[in-house]
Amino acid sequence: MSSVARKLFLELYIETTPGWMRERRRKFADLARKHGIELRPILAPDAKLGQPIPTYFEDIEQADAYWIRAPHLLDDERTRDTILRKLRDGSSWVILDFDRNYISAHNEFLKPFELAGTFVGAFRTPDARPEHQRVIFLNREQHPSAFRDSLLFDGVKDLEVSGVHGLLHHGAAQSVLAIPDGVVELIDTSQDFFTDWPVPELSCMAVWRPPRGRGGLLVLGANPEADPVITMFGDRLPGIDAGDNAQFCRNLLRLIDELPSAPVFDWTEAYRLLSQIESNLYQITSHVLRKAFGPNWWSDAIPEAIRQKCAARRESEHGQYPDHAYLELIEYKKLWAKHWSRIVDEAARNKSAFPMEKAEAERLFESIHPVRKKGAHPTKVAAVGQLRPSVDEKDVLERSAQLIVKAYRSVTGLSGVE
């Protein structure tokens, strides 16, 4: 396995997260590097919670997987929406390390996937083992029904987990690790009272997978991946060194490694979207004006100033194309403003609602224009050393392209350029 990082796996923290907690997976990080996966922390400053975090967003957009314990970074709407989008389209893994201290925030995130964490903790039924009662031993021969995922537990015969909390799952979400009845005693950790569980086996790992793609959401209500630690009372929690815990970690990393590589959004891709946008703008505009004005639409519907500019461009290039082939983006904005009612009416004739209001269309043109000035002129981006579009520029182009395709379909009833 190559040691060169090919995938990016982000751990989401806040700056006030204790250092020992941020470094509790050093051995897991070493395994990740052997799989060509870079495990990188992202620290959100408390003062910026709930605000855009552009410093981190490039990494968040490009990452293949996310490890979430402290949920604070998800307070940033853009970050949360990006992670959810990539999760749902099957292009990333989200590992949610359930923590009862964040139960409300975690369950808000998990609710759409029919998953939830609980305050029900598990302690090993008293036996002669010297390990702390928080350490629970599972053996494939003794507990065959506990291991419910052939990929995650490939080659795993013995698993030792600690910090166990019960997980609820419904619908498409499934349990992948469950502790059999009789192995543990259950405690309501919010009150420190013994409690019950509605079914015989306590689910402590569960997964939701999208209908397509290779990613998914894995919720850990147990921690086989953490580094060994000595508690303040002198008890040792073995973590990744115990049993086949390291093999489980390798299997998890293999799932991330097998994700399709995320495409890099560069200026070539930006130019492709700009071409798509302008082609559809031309098709929409010419379709509407031809229907309204007939074969003389260019002379009857286009203001003289725009016609003169297009003619001058054609002459300067000794062009063999008609004048209307030289329309530019800013001129489409003027034409849409002038003929807005005709565009909307044409969509209505197709029994379709035009997908934007006039003010929204104006903002769309204004947002595309500065990106086009760079994307259509490689020398400009080379001169300033901008190797690829910013995340904001990428968002503008992708959102605009999608909206204009919808506009084309509403006006023509056809599919448009995609």
> Helix H segments across 112-221?
none
Contacts 24+ apart (CB under 8 A), 285-292: 285/327, 285/332, 285/335, 285/336, 285/339, 286/324, 287/346, 287/411, 287/412, 288/339, 288/342, 288/343, 288/346, 288/411, 289/335, 289/339, 289/342, 291/346, 292/339, 292/342
- Tell me what pLDDT residue 335 has: 97
416 conformational bin, left if phi > 0, alpha if psi -120 to 50, beta if neither = left
Model pTM? 0.62
Tokens of 234: 């002198």
- pLDDT score of 20: 58
* pLDDT digit string (tens) for the chain, length 418 residues: 333 345 777 776 666 666 655 667 788 888 888 888 888 777 665 544 444 444 566 678 888 889 888 777 777 788 888 899 989 988 889 999 999 999 999 999 999 999 999 999 998 887 777 777 888 999 988 888 888 888 889 899 999 998 899 999 888 888 899 998 888 989 999 988 999 888 788 999 999 988 776 789 999 999 888 888 777 777 777 788 888 999 999 999 988 887 765 555 778 888 889 999 999 999 999 999 999 999 999 999 999 999 999 999 999 988 788 999 999 999 999 999 999 999 999 999 988 899 999 999 999 999 999 999 888 887 876 665 566 687 678 889 999 999 999 999 999 887 545 5
Query: Strands across the sheet with 115-124, in order?
Result: 165-169, 115-124, 184-188, 193-194
- State residue 22's pLDDT score: 60
The CA–CA distances, whole Å, from 110 to 87, 98, 106, 203, 217 equal 12, 10, 6, 15, 9
pLDDT score for 261 = 56
**Two structure tokens written together for 38:** 């870079």
Model pLDDT, residue 51? 46
Judged on CB neighbours under 10 Å (0-12, 13-18, 19+), 281 is buried
Name beta bridge partners: 11: 41, 67
The CATH-assigned architecture of domain 7-257 is: 3-Layer(aba) Sandwich (3.40)
- Quote the pLDDT of residue 120: 94
Q: Where are the domains of the chain?
A: 7-257, 267-412
Cα torsion through 184, 186, 189, 194, rounded to 10: -130
CA count, 13 A, side-chain hemisphere, 211: 1
The strand pair at 165-169 and 115-124 is best described as antiparallel
| Structural element, H or E, at residue 178 | strand 174-179
Q: What is the pLDDT of residue 286?
A: 94
